[in-house]
Amino acid sequence: MDLKNAVRYHILDHAFRRVRKVLPPSDRWQGPATGKYISRAELPKHPLIHYREIYPEQRIAWSDLQLPPAEATEVEALSQIDDWTNQIRVGFFARSQKMRYTWYSHSLLTANDDLYGNLHFPHTPDFDYEPHPMFTHPRHSPLDQQCRGKTLVLLSLPNLYHFVFEAIARLALAQEAGMEASCYDHFLGEPPSLPFHHEIFGYLGIPTDRILSPSGGAQHCRFSELHFSNTTYGIPPELISILRSYLAAVPRVSPPFACPRKLYLSRAAYPTRRLVNETAVTELLARHGFTTVCPHELSYAQQKVLFEEAEVIVSSHGAGLANLIWCKPGTKVIELRSKHHTRGYWKLYWNISSACNLQHRWVSCEDTPNAHAHGPQYSDLIAPLDSLTACLEN
């Protein structure tokens, strides 16, 4: 820590917190946190938090990729930028009484105002040496005076990847720790808004009327007991096994057509990462025995069967590849992605393939912006037919 930050953290911020403790409460807003920051390493030792480790911290080696030399060179360069995607954070389940949640920075505060933050985004750093924004932010949402009952934090974004690997994973980790969904009064997360949300919650017996929305009435509220766990972009085999076991309640429902062994997932109906030259790509894939499928036209249960039966899958980078958890070991996956997609998410689905023992390859594409693209990771793609052909034939 440099001198400037040391002065700010140890003198200014701490002094500001001491002042906040003696100021009268306001019914209009809640001031900064006044306790200390709890790092992940300190969670097991905190006196007000009961902690259980589910799987250990691990690391993915880039040498595990086993890519052709040209791809290996490109990936090695990206790895220097996105090293955090190699880290599998410890999987845990924790609970604390009289805890509160605030929508600002998705943070939890114990009864003595100690803070554990950044539940939503697993790649954000701990604040061991820098002050968390909750300690310096002048105000956030008013505290709801009603105290809710026993609640599990889910926090999810709408697409399938975030839903499965954040919300559903947290339900699965709770069950792994011996907590059945039926024991909870509430779940903290966005209410279901898409068909697969309702479908999966229905199979799992999750009552959607018990879901409290952080962006709605639960922006800042207290709970008699709050349960929370970790998420990670590095996917360990242990988490895949836990998810498969928990999602065993999803039945096998066959699609309205024979499941193809070679599968191309089209994103033509989506606003991002569409293939500009999809006609040429589908013609090329058809000559190699592929069938084009639009996954949004199928239920989640049907998509599960589709991936279970597939031997080769071609798809643009997208949330539908969360279904790779259902593939048989050895299934071949070819992912089309922008060559300018340098944020860590580009390695997301290889992490799943690695954990599931699948053969994963990338085809780097030129990108072209569209109205919905906020950065190259969302741009539409132009797939190089020669590179795709070489990947298919090798």
Q: Rounded to whole angstroms, how far apart are CA atoms 393 and 287?
A: 12
Token pair belonging to 287: 């000559």
CB 323 within 8 A of CB 242: no
User: Which pLDDT score is estimated for 7?
Assistant: 46
Q: What phi and psi values does residue 367 have, to the nearest 5 degrees?
A: -120, 155
> Using N-to-C axis directions, what is the helix angle for 300-309 and 195-204, rounded to 10°?
90
pLDDT at 80: 62
The sheet that has 291-293: what strands, in order across it?
291-293, 262-265, 312-316, 332-338, 359-368, 380-382
pLDDT of residue 33: 77
How far is the CA of 109 from the CAs of 102, 136, 179, 183, in angstroms?
8, 15, 22, 22
CATH 3.40.50: does it fit domain 262-393?
yes
What whole-number distance in Å separates Cα of residue 324 and Cα of residue 166?
16
Instruction: Show Cβ contacts of residue 205 under 8 Å, excluding neighbours closer than 6 positions.
Output: 181, 182, 249
What is residue 126's predicted lDDT score, i.e. its pLDDT?
59
Distance CA 115, CA 107 (A): 7
Assess contact for 92 and 51: CB atoms under 8 A.
Answer: yes
133: part of which helix (H) or strand (E)?
Answer: helix 133-136
Query: Chunked in runs of 10, what are the mean pLDDT values of the chain (394 residues)?
Result: 47 52 48 81 94 90 65 67 73 95 88 83 54 73 88 89 93 96 95 95 96 89 94 86 96 95 94 92 97 96 97 95 96 91 74 91 87 79 94 89
- Residue 157: exposed, middle, or buried by beta-carbon count in 10 A (0-12, 13-18, 19+)? middle
**Domain locations along the chain:** 26-81+89-249, 262-393
Query: Residue 194 CB: number of other CB atoms within 10 A?
Result: 12
In DSSP terms, 93 is beta-bridged to 52, 229
Please state at what angle helix 169-176 crosses helix 237-246, rounded to 10 degrees.
Answer: 90
